[in-house]
Structure 1
């Protein structure tokens, strides 16, 4: 069965450390995403799993077998590259069957497996075309078929949707996820796109500076981030440094903000509050905190409000109000009443 275990994985380039002490356990049929900014070590980690980069330390175990020193073709992995890496002079069928040919699979079996793989991605009718005769989405699906045709124990995806436009990206994203679930493929994916990771993954691994910052489901990371980096990287978040005072947070600018302190004392902390958890009412009345609107950004289905609470700056995101809603009449410079449930935010270490 296809499982993947990375234990103590580390990669050094001279004195520079690209990946340090990565421990990840991917279960059978699970899709786990490595998520993080450019240069965080996620692609280096994926390439160590594939066998294209030799780790400085640590082990890679696939299906219970230590493959750390094995060449790429002996690892039972299939990889979809960011650039697709299709051979321009080969037909679709030739590209898909290349890995089988390198493995000395007989012609009859090779043809049958190519047809089966192309059926999976709905491209059998384009088997004789060259890559340049295909759209970007079709090329991506050919690359996926090439990875699937070798019956991999683990599927590796390196930014598989980054070269597609936004609409096509959403369509292909859903196709890949549905196919991965239907086939029960153990999958490790690299992405820097939050929406892509949140919608496709069973679990996410947030990386920064070569380290793993947190592992969990999308809900875990969004609702209970381990630190300010995760809170800020996974979704939008207001991060307000301050100290606990009584049952509230005293911000550095001196504002007293409601929050659930949960036994915290006066030590320095950061209050993390998601923008969609903030409610607005026109005017300074009500039970909320008065704030001044510094800007309003229309985002279609949602509207973003930039707020000044004394010396504290906040961003609120609300469903775009209808014309009959009093919020529709707001403009920069207006005063509003701002409120949130004290348990909606989290106190995080500095």
Structure 2
């Protein structure tokens, strides 16, 4: 295990800034996910750590050693690529042994380490097969074994599950997490899949336009997003534009008055983010607790999702809120709701998160 420290890491291509001033510490044995949309800089950051891309500026330290300008095979890293990058003319065992050959490991030791790595990923019986003779999940495990066999101080994974079908992706995700925990691997995992990141990572690093937007645990980013981008990218959020008119009181542009936590921020323009699962639904006229916010509107869409259902409610033409609720039983009156029906949404004040209206980092509370 090794600690990974990135300091003011930057990469430019001419006038284009791909990664801008990224500083991050990944502790020994920690799994950190770099998360963001395509083109956000997450893969460029990972490849700079691996040594495949030269930084324009900044420093990369692994296990206390500055590796910023060292070639990949001298960095104490193991990497799993999105495409697996297996050599088709080599057997499984030869593919796994490749990194050891690059490091001039003696043959006898290399054979033992290859056998141990394949056993670790439950492929000990397939060492003589070729990649074309394996399933997608098996090829993925070969790629994992090849990265692990060098005993890396830092384990790097670049969208390793994107080529697998949904069921297999879930299975391999669990296997990777169990393997990482069992071996205590310091790991950086790149993905654009928020569910993947939330279930795998100890901490998330959300990136956009080459800039780190927020770093924190899955719970911290979900419950307390730093800005509108994070609120929209981690999970789903209803967003209402408006202003804080007084401590604990927000008013949307459409005139909806909402009680919010009084967090000490000054009155002024703001955006309100509200998770769909924090909303409840009732028929108009149903009693509403005094401590709850409420808004009445017209149901425009009901989407049945099995265990849950989504309800889109038009409040004032340009303000629409989505509620995600457990699907009610067939006998429940809510089950019979249809587009065009009037409904009332309710939610507690502590479900509201006030953010800067332009998506800048929140300065409140």
The normalised TM-score by structure 2 is 0.94
Judge conservation of contact 1:289–1:339 (CA < 8 Å) in 2. yes
Q: Deviations over 1:159-195 (max 9, x none)?
A: 0100001110000000000000000000001100000
Does 1:292 find its partner at 2:313? Answer: no
Gaps of 5+ in 1: none
Shift of residue 218, structure 1, vs aligned partner:
0.2
Q: What corresponds to 1:323 in structure 2? A: 330
Q: What corresponds to 2:251 in structure 1? A: 250
Alignment of 1:192-231 (within 5 A): 192-231=192-231
Judge conservation of contact 1:286–1:337 (CA < 8 Å) in 2. no
Judge conservation of contact 1:244–1:261 (CA < 8 Å) in 2. no
Shift of residue 9, structure 1, vs aligned partner:
0.1
Q: What corresponds to 2:101 in structure 1? A: 101
Cα distance in 2, alignment partners of residues 87 and 18 from structure 1: 30
Q: CA RMSD in A?
A: 1.1
Cα distance in 1, alignment partners of residues 271 and 171 from structure 2: 38
Match of 1:333 among 332, 340, 364: 340
Alignment of 1:162-173 (within 5 A): 162-173=162-173
Q: Deviations over 1:46-93 (max 9, x none)?
A: 000000000000000000000001000000000000000000011110
Alignment of 1:76-115 (within 5 A): 76-115=76-115
Q: What corresponds to 1:47 in structure 2? A: 47
Q: 1:261 to 1:310 in 2, by over 3 A?
A: farther
Cα distance in 2, alignment partners of residues 331 and 258 from structure 1: 29
Aligned length: 350
**Greater Cα shift, 96-105 or 251-260:** 251-260
Judge conservation of contact 1:307–1:314 (CA < 8 Å) in 2. yes
Shift of residue 336, structure 1, vs aligned partner:
1.3
Cα distance in 2, alignment partners of residues 187 and 220 from structure 1: 20
Cα distance in 1, alignment partners of residues 263 and 285 from structure 2: 29
Shift of residue 324, structure 1, vs aligned partner:
1.7
Q: Deviations over 1:230-271 (max 9, x none)?
A: 000000001111012344321112222332243344300000
Cα distance in 2, alignment partners of residues 244 and 77 from structure 1: 49
Q: What corresponds to 2:282 in structure 1? A: 281
3-state SS of paired residue (2:225): coil
Judge conservation of contact 1:284–1:291 (CA < 8 Å) in 2. no
Alignment of 1:234-249 (within 5 A): 234-246=234-246, 247-249=248-250
The normalised TM-score by structure 1 is 0.98
Shift of residue 217, structure 1, vs aligned partner:
0.2
Q: Deviations over 1:98-142 (max 9, x none)?
A: 111121111111110000000110001111111011110100000
Q: Deviations over 1:289-338 (max 9, x none)?
A: 22210100111111111011224210110111111222111111111121
Cα distance in 2, alignment partners of residues 292 and 226 from structure 1: 31
3-state SS of paired residue (2:145): helix
